[in-house]
Amino acid sequence: MLRNTQRISFMLCALLLASCAQSSQSANDDEIIVTGQGRTDSSISPPSPPPPPPPYPVQLEASRRAPAGAIAPYAQTAPQPMPGDVDRDQYEDTDTNPIHLVSEDPVSTFSIDVDTASYSNVRRFLNEGRLPPADAVRTEELINYFRYDYPLPRDRSQPFSSNVTVAPSPWAEGRQLVHIGLQGYNIVPRERPPLNLVLLLDVSGSMNAPNKLPLLQQSFRLLIDQLNARDRVAIVVYAGAAGTVLEPTPGNERGRILAALDSLTPGGSTAGAEGLRQAYALAEQNFNRNSVNRVIIGTDGDFNVGINDPEQLQDFISRKRETGIYLSVFGFGGGNYNDALMQRLAQNGNGVATYIDTVNEARRVLRDEMASNMFSIANDVKIQVEFNPARVAEYRLIGYETRMLRREDFNNDAVDAGEIGSGHSVTAIYEITPVGGPTFTEPLRYQDRAPAPSTASELAFLRIRYKLPGEDTSRLIERPITNADAVADIARASESTRWAAAVAGYGQLLRGDTYLARGFGYDDVIRLAQTARGTDEFGWRAEFIQLARAAETAAALPTAQNAGGGEGRPRR
């Protein structure tokens, strides 16, 4: 009897378990959502979101209550995910400058550019063993990375000299290069004006990498070492919100400044616009008409909280530029490097855009060339070249794609352009096809090429406009480009012309430009560069030759892709 009772009990338990299992399976079929990512149980409620960061007014009020020079707490939230293996670098999509027919479009106008960010960013890619995206290469920035032995101006009544050489093109038989070089005067250190600096530093989670925040801190230590008692420096940081960690402090109080700098740690999203407002507020608070008033951003450019629309940011910075406070941008890191945004901000802020990939680059920018990057000697510098249709059939400007201006902009003093700093040299190169040479286009049948007797020896006419700091009306420099500026062989050209031509060839190869002869390659770049290394005090030119060799090797490997451009521009 007992045995039968136990059997019946076991059978009832088995039936009950089977019924429960079927019910559970039916419930799961209703509750589990199958996606491309896997299975998600909708019965489990998502975790509560983290509390929002303190609002901006609270941070600002806290920083105001802090005693002058004290290290105030700054806003941070929990660290955000790192970019990882996803390359989200962003570059502006630009096409190479086209060929222009002199008979139809004889005038070329552009703003000068002294930025160097593209050179060191390209170096980063090559040192990683891969080619950069084509849009990461701005040939004029590669050329202007180097110092050139142009003559200094005779006196400061004209802040820079202008120099021109015409030489055969090393990459296209039958064509010529018109090499234009400007050289600014140097400011003696004891004569330099005081600095009113606000360092706006990104401490968001995206800066949590050795080549980001730690390198940023090392870099700005080099700047702080150059300051004196007449200078003032403040530090604002931004993550999920913005905060002041150092009120305006005399430059000789290095211990206090370095303590604030060294206290920074990464974490949170990137409220860059919020930080900009606070940085400009501090710069205005300590504004000095006789000082250089400048905000310097150190970031990877990943503004993802608050105002991140480039147009709104540009408008804000342009308005502040009119008050006499300029903006420079120092880029760090990779993976989510927003080059396109940083270029726009620097251009609208009358400042420079640099990219710091190593401590050596920081030393070059913030110590060796600190005067060039801090002290402007000429503002709104524009170049205009009018080509003589009796001598030149075609022309193209190498680089400066993002700096082109309309013809009427040249005489319009309301149109912003680039600045030249103390000791800066600026180089521009046109490639021209002489009349009767191998043009890309068919010549016109009915065109009068008879030159006027007074201009028969002129290839072109060079005009340069600039404003002295503090002035609103531009000044004009003019000079013809004549046979006297020409040399018969590139080997007879100056060291500066040969070096600039080698770097221009390197940049065009990296971009995949179609105007180079098929046989021209990195070996030709290296051979030409070897003839123009000069004294090379800091080894920059020797390094360039090694980068050209690395580019030749990397050319067989995949090209890094531009996040903004999908598959990137194909190489031709």
Q: Which pLDDT belongs to residue 525?
A: 98
At residue 63, the 3 state secondary structure works out as helix
Report residue 134's pLDDT band, with 50, 70 and 90 as the boundaries.
very high
Question: Is the pLDDT reported for residue 74 higher than 60?
Answer: no
Q: Is residue 463's pLDDT more than 60?
A: yes
Better pLDDT: 538 or 26: 538
Cβ(508)–Cβ(516) under 8 Å?
A: yes
Does residue 447 register a pLDDT over 70? no
**C-alpha of 338 from chain center:** 9
Structure token digits, residue 547: 């980068």
Q: Please compute the mean of the pLDDT values over residues 453-474 and round it to a whole number.
A: 92
269-297: average pLDDT: 87
pLDDT for the residue 440: 84
pLDDT digits over 29-73, tens only? 433 333 333 334 444 444 454 444 443 333 333 343 344 444 444
| 8 Å CB contact between 502 and 525 | yes
Q: Are 357 and 216 in contact (CB under 8 A)?
A: no
Pairwise CA distance, residues 491 & 501, whole Å: 11
Residues 6+ away with beta carbon under 8 Å from 17: none
Tell me the sheet residues that pair with 107: 386
pLDDT for the residue numbered 23: 46
79: confidence class by pLDDT, cuts 50, 70, 90: very low
Element (H, E) at 327: strand 326-332
Q: What is the pLDDT of residue 314?
A: 85
Provide mean pLDDT across the span 121-132. Answer: 95
Q: Which residue stretches of 91-173 are H helix?
A: 117-127, 139-143
The pLDDT value recorded for residue 558 is: 65
Dihedral of the alpha carbons of 118, 279, 382, 364, in degrees to the nearest 10: -40
Cβ distance 90 to 564 under 8 Å?
A: yes
Handedness of CA 466, 468, 472, 478 (dihedral sign): negative
On the question of pLDDT at 78 being above 70, the answer is no
pLDDT at 133 over 90: yes
Q: What is the mean pLDDT of residues 195-209?
A: 93
- pLDDT reading at 568 higher than 80: no
Rounded to the nearest integer, the mean pLDDT of the chain is 84
The 3-state DSSP class for residue 88 equals coil
Q: At what angle do helices 495-511 and 522-530 cross, to 10 degrees?
A: 160
The partner residues of 127 in beta bridges, in order of sequence, read none
Nearest CA to 203 out of 100, 334, 107, 298 is that of: 298
pLDDT at 227: 96
Reported as a pLDDT band with limits 50, 70 and 90, residue 313 is: confident
H or E, element range at 528: helix 522-530
Phi, psi of 55 (to 5 degrees): -65, 160
